Amino acid sequence: MSKIHVSTTLNGDAAEFLCDPSASLLDALRDELGLTGSKEGCGSGDCGACTVVLDGEMVCSCLVFAAEAEGGTIQTIEGVAESAVLHPVQQKFLEHGALQCGFCTPGFIVAAKALLDRNPDPTETEVRYWLAGNLCRCTGYDKIVRAVMDAAAELRQDRPSERTPA
């Protein structure tokens, strides 16, 4: 079987790789590019452990063909932190103990960052709804939701207010 050449932007940098036509984006990230942060939990898009952002949309990378990333932009857990500084979502996960085994954590962090990029002032209900595609078998969800809410509050302090004064 001949390989497909894929050119993409990965975590802000140009990237190229070869993959089988049937390879998932998750397999290409892990096996071809050495980015092992995204995990395969179920292989059917039910757990969210492999969540990445592809062209501005959250996707389960186990369900996307690697070839679909051609010309696209991908952000993985490895691209969430800027330089050596943790993103506020990552920092708040640590502070709130919102992780235990860590298997689901990359997917939750990528999803939470995607939410806060779109909506810097989510309600708790919106956070829970947005993260509903991510499953955790260790921590329960309360600490995760609190971490995301706290990260949102911190990020809002760093931005000018987007609300119109009453």
Nearest-5° Cα angle at 47, 17 to 18: 10
Q: Using pLDDT thresholds of 50, 70 and 90, give the confidence band for residue 164.
A: very low
What is the rounded radius of gyration, in angstroms, for the C-alpha atoms of the chain? 16
Domains and CATH numbers, the chain: 4-79 (3.10.20.30), 88-158 (1.10.150.120)
Q: Where are the alpha helices (DSSP H) in the chain?
A: 25-27, 88-95, 105-118, 124-130, 142-158
Mean pLDDT of the chain: 93
Report the percent of the chain where pLDDT is more than 90.
88
pTM of model > 0.85? yes
Selected residue with higher pLDDT from 128 and 161: 128
